[in-house]
Amino acid sequence: LIYVLDGTLRNGRIAAPAGSTMFVPGGMRYSLRSKEAVALVNFRRDASMITFAAGSTPRLESSGAAGGS
């Protein structure tokens, strides 16, 4: 589950404004985009890996991996 605190998050044609929750099934690859800064909470059952570009090395998903604090 991804809860959008601020801004609007997009997954393809689906837009999730602040206050929305998005569901992504476990093990499914997805890409999120935004034209503005977004604050979100990503609820996970287990730790997961994130890849920022095709062919790049996967890293443990965290706010630090995404450039946050």
Contact yes or no for 28/60 (Cβ under 8 A): no
pLDDT per position as a tens digit, 2-26: 999 999 999 889 999 999 999 988 7
Torsion of CA 48, 14, 35, 39, to 10 degrees: -50
For the cut 80, the answer to whether the pLDDT of residue 34 exceeds it is: yes
For the cut 80, the answer to whether the pLDDT of residue 69 exceeds it is: no
pLDDT band for position 63 (50/70/90)? low
For residue 48, give the nearest of 30, 61, 58, 66 by alpha carbon: 61
Q: What is the model's pLDDT at position 24?
A: 86
pTM passes above 0.75 = no
Q: What is the model's pLDDT at position 27?
A: 76
Please report, for residues 3, 12, 14, 61, 67, the alpha-carbon distance to residue 21 in angstroms, rounded to integers and kept in the order given.
4, 15, 11, 19, 22
Residue 1, token pair as written in the block: 């589950």
